[in-house]
Structure 1
Amino acid sequence: MSLKSIKPLTRAPLLHVSVQESLRNFISDNGLIPGTMLPAESDLANQLGVSRNSLREGIKALESLGVLEARRGVGIFVKAFSFEPLLDNLAYGLGGALRQVEELIEIRRVLEAGMIGRTLAMISDHDIAELRDTVNRMGAHAKRGESFADEDQRFHTLLFRCQNNETFTRLIDIFWLAFYKASDFVNLDNADPVATWKDHAAIVDAVEKKDLVEVKKRLDHHYEGISRVIAANK
């Protein structure tokens, strides 16, 4: 395959930033797909007019962003897009910034309300049975005064699984990570696990009845509870 030449650098105060930008442009200009191996480091460094150390800094930065993948003894490859780098770094970026977490929760609330109608049209009896099973496990924990974060996350994933929307599924993961990372800095424990369990049970009831108005009402009620927990910790 004949590749377009990599564009020369416009040197910036941080050289590795310019290296990253040139590598991104090289991938884009040539339409390189995930799994494509880049030219050898020596060739890239020569075309860019930088040292191999500067090139490697840029490559490492793009690895951390999930753009490139270095395979030891083989070469540098274009990597398939993934939310994983964002998920990994979001926990450190948000820290205890409750305002940003609150904004993410509101975005999630709107997205779930907007997507739930499609779920009602597509969800299977099997998915509903799994939701019921998850709610029952929530109830068992709630009656013992225990938290059930894993079941809660699974519930919301199951609620939209039938849509096969991988991007939305990953966004749900981002929201969960943000919320529970904030828990490392402030107390966001569920003060009323029984009420939260009952909220989820009511959502399943509405889903099973295919009652869009009711399920949106129940989702709103659920998120109001989350918002109150955050507000109490400001």
Structure 2
Amino acid sequence: MAVTDAAIDKIKGMIVSGELAPGARLPKEADLAERLGLSRNSLREAVRALSLINVLDVRQGDGTYVTSLEPRLLLDALSFVVDFHRDDTVLEFFQVRRILEPAATAMAATIMTPEDIDDLKAILDAVPDNPTVEEMVANDLEFHQRIAVGSGNTVLASLIESLSAPTTRARVWRGLTQEGANLKTQEQHLAIYEAIASHQPEIARSWATVHISGVEEWLRRAL
């Protein structure tokens, strides 16, 4: 194992064990290096690597702290990787969405409050008459993300948000080339909303599956 990797593992072990809690300040560099049996250079490289993935927060003139370790923060690194996707992998992103989003939709149908449901309806109502493809796609992204947040699972919501960007261009492409795509999207969104509003998780799951599978199948044929 590379020296830097070993240093990363040792710091990770301190966090996982609870010795360093979210928000905690790391000991001084010299003290920590001696304690972990590391050179100061190896420790610096480890700290730099962990700061890039938002595990540590290096504050100039103050010290190095463990971040909040919230899923949204830690999954920013996934978003960075996802940005490098190739066009020939976009279908795979839709396949992952088809696995995750119906589950999130079913969960949302179980726990979303009346206020949450009103917010979801407001997103649907914000679509103008005869929307452009860009307006429809923007609304689609907001609608699905609100449901993901409504699932109550922050990890799931962050994963779904990370997977949205690579599919945006395909959604626009479909809107431009498939007749009636906007209307179909609105109808399916309404069906999903009604299932959530009436707290019918399995119906909500089914409509979400139909909705995402339709775009996936169109893309499969188009490719």
TM score, norm. by length of structure 2: 0.78
For 1:42, the aligned partner's letter is: A
Partner Cα separation in structure 2 for residue 81 and residue 48 of structure 1: 22
In structure 2, what is the equivalent of residue 23 of structure 1? 11
Where in structure 2 are the equivalents of 1:212-227 lying within 5 Å?
Answer: 212-227=201-216
Match status 1:102 vs 2:86: no
Q: Say if 1:98 and 1:230, in contact at 8 Å, map to a contact too.
A: no
Please, what is the CA RMSD of the aligned residues?
Answer: 3.0
Q: Say if 1:37 and 1:78, in contact at 8 Å, map to a contact too.
A: yes
Judged with a 3 Å threshold, the aligned counterparts in structure 2 of structure 1 residues 72 and 126 are, in CA distance, closer, same or farther, namely same
Percent identity reads 24
Q: Which has the higher helix share?
A: 2
Partner Cα separation in structure 2 for residue 162 and residue 187 of structure 1: 23
Count of matched residue pairs = 217
SS in 2 for 1:143: coil
1:11-54 CA distances to partner (integer Å, 9 max, x unpaired)?
x4x32222211222233346321122111112223344544333
Judged with a 3 Å threshold, the aligned counterparts in structure 2 of structure 1 residues 214 and 75 are, in CA distance, closer, same or farther, namely closer
SS in 1 for 2:10: helix
1:137-171 CA distances to partner (integer Å, 9 max, x unpaired)?
23x26534444333222212333544432222222
Q: Say if 2:8 and 2:46, in contact at 8 Å, map to a contact too.
A: yes
Q: Which blocks of at least 5 consecutive residues in structure 1 are unaligned?
A: 1-11
In structure 2, what is the equivalent of residue 137 of structure 1? 126
1:101 is displaced (CA, Å) by 4.3
In structure 2, what is the equivalent of residue 154 of structure 1? 142
Partner Cα separation in structure 2 for residue 73 and residue 91 of structure 1: 28
Match of 1:125 among 107, 114, 135: 114
1:227 is displaced (CA, Å) by 0.5
1:165-203 CA distances to partner (integer Å, 9 max, x unpaired)?
2222222212213434xx4xx785332223212221222
For 2:47, the aligned partner's letter is: I
Q: Say if 2:104 and 2:156, in contact at 8 Å, map to a contact too.
A: no
In structure 2, what is the equivalent of residue 65 of structure 1? 53
Question: Which protein is bigger by CA-based radius of gyration?
Answer: 1
Where in structure 2 are the equivalents of 1:201-216 lying within 5 Å?
Answer: 201-216=190-205
In structure 2, what is the equivalent of residue 9 of structure 1? none
Partner Cα separation in structure 2 for residue 171 and residue 33 of structure 1: 24
Runs of 4+ more than 6 Å apart: none
Q: Which blocks of at least 5 consecutive residues in structure 2 are unaligned?
A: 176-180
Larger RCO of the pair (alpha carbons < 8 Å, separation 6+)? 2
